[in-house]
Amino acid sequence: MPYDVVIIGAGWSGVIAAYNLSKKGYSILVLEARNRVGGRAMTYVEGMPAPIDLGCSWIHGYKQGNPAKELAKEFGVTAKLPNKTDNLIYGLDGPLPTEIASRLQSNLGAARAAAYDHAQLNPEPPSSSVPLSEHLFSPSSSLFEDCNQSLAASYARSFEIPLGAPLESISLRWAGWENNFAGSDAAPENGFQPFIEKILDAATKNGAKLQLDECVKGIRNMKDEVVILTSKGEYQARSVLCTIPLGVLQQDPPIFSPALSARRQETISRTHVGVLEKIVLSYKETWWPSASLVGSFTFLPSKSLSPSESKIDPLTILLSHTIIVASFAAPSLPNPHPTLLFYISTTPARLLAKFSDDDVTHAAHEFIIERFKVTTIASPPIASVRTNWLKDPYSWGATTTSSIIGEGRSPLDFLELGKPLWGGKLGFAGEHTEPNHRGSVAGAVISGQREADRIGTLLKD
């Protein structure tokens, strides 16, 4: 007897859909290729003094309507709003004076706002092929007002961390287009992966079934059902919900029969998947300056990469780019601990991807010693981990970015990616299907709720 719904993927969108549909009494099978649930929500605990989220880590817009807030309340997950701590910007010679750092921060905020206004309010909006960098780095940009141009340009690169792409790739026309949740952030206690597990546990208590380590190889549309072919067997369902990340749909998708339309395939191909990696170093004790006060360090480049360099080591890569390091030793969240988390933007992340975990984490330790100008011996970390979502065969990148440069690209692509096919029997969910909330937990949650409602109506009819 076929299932009512087979859901491909046990990340946020798949688990939310499974939970909502199971509450309505539908028979649900969730197939997950990994040996764990969560997808790009991954909470790391091995050797760490506290759980560390290696994927999504904040509920953005916690007080502004993010549906993850209500889910946290429903499942008894405590979410903590961070306490205010200091942020320091490091130049070549150490921390920049407060006046200069404040000027860099305010200038970047003003330049971003001006770029968004130019894109959205200009009677003649820029071509979709004009990059955001062209406006930010123009000679008249407020980015450079009353400050060193080199410092300002380097600090602007920190914006590439949340963007997931170089400033030269993001389309100015669509930058800031989203009406997303923003204003306050909260971190779920114990991390995102246990949060998702609680929701999935509730779904399984409602009768949903989960199977791990089972990769979907093909999806066939038959007259009265959909057939799902996996690495372990074959299943039939009245409908199927595909929450496979966009990076996988681009590089190693299951075989759809009949094939996806040319328009859908073109949209999948041209929508950009971003890159954001993390490096975590946990120490026996804090040894870096201002550890109890500073929650975030922004390190501007102290070296320059030469285009002619054929062999570049991981330390040089880190020293040559703008790097943000969050410190868990500061009391921004409860129970501070001597752990540093590096946010690595797309350009250095791609260069580091070919190096081993040991090489990268060792370089991160050497980087922090050099940039803090430590004269005493700093013991190596007692635990470390680095992500490589870019090479992960079940993600092939982080999340989607704002529309990149190129004619024909626009936020409508995210709507196209979420349209059901095969008379509604094949649905799609995930952050990449929500134009206003792409690249976020909210987008994944909303898409799972959307598809659960749609499938429920389809099966009822």
Taking only the tens of pLDDT, the chain with its 461 residues reads 799 999 999 999 999 999 999 999 999 999 999 999 999 999 999 999 999 999 999 999 999 999 999 999 999 999 999 999 999 999 999 999 999 999 999 999 999 999 999 998 888 889 999 999 999 999 999 999 999 999 999 999 999 999 999 999 999 999 989 999 999 999 999 999 999 999 999 999 999 999 999 999 999 999 989 999 999 999 999 999 999 999 999 999 999 999 999 999 999 999 999 999 999 999 999 999 999 999 999 999 999 887 666 679 999 999 999 999 999 999 999 999 999 999 999 999 999 999 999 999 999 999 999 999 988 888 999 999 999 999 999 999 999 999 999 989 999 999 999 999 999 999 999 999 999 999 999 999 999 999 999 999 999 87
Three-state SS at 316 = helix
What is the H or E stretch that residue 74 is in? helix 67-74
Dihedral sign of CA atoms 4, 72, 395, 361 in order: negative
β pairing state of 86-91 and 94-95? antiparallel
Residue 84 token pair: 């205010």
Q: Which residues make Cβ contacts (< 8 Å) with residue 334, sequence separation at least 6?
A: 80, 189
Q: Which residues make Cβ contacts (< 8 Å) with residue 458, sequence separation at least 6?
A: 239, 424, 425
User: pTM, whole model, 2 decimals?
Assistant: 0.95
Q: Which residues make Cβ contacts (< 8 Å) with residue 191, sequence separation at least 6?
A: 43, 51, 52, 53
Please state which architecture CATH assigns to domain 3-41+189-271+409-460. Answer: 3-Layer(bba) Sandwich (3.50)
Taking the C-alpha atoms of residue 235 and residue 243, their distance in angstroms, rounded to an integer, is 17
Q: Which residues make Cβ contacts (< 8 Å) with residue 221, sequence separation at least 6?
A: 257, 258, 422, 425, 426
β pairing state of 79-80 and 185-188? antiparallel
Domain ranges of the chain: 3-41+189-271+409-460
Task: Tell whether omega for the bond before 307 is within 30 degrees of 0, i.e. cis.
Answer: no
Please list the residues that pair with 376 across neighbouring strands. none
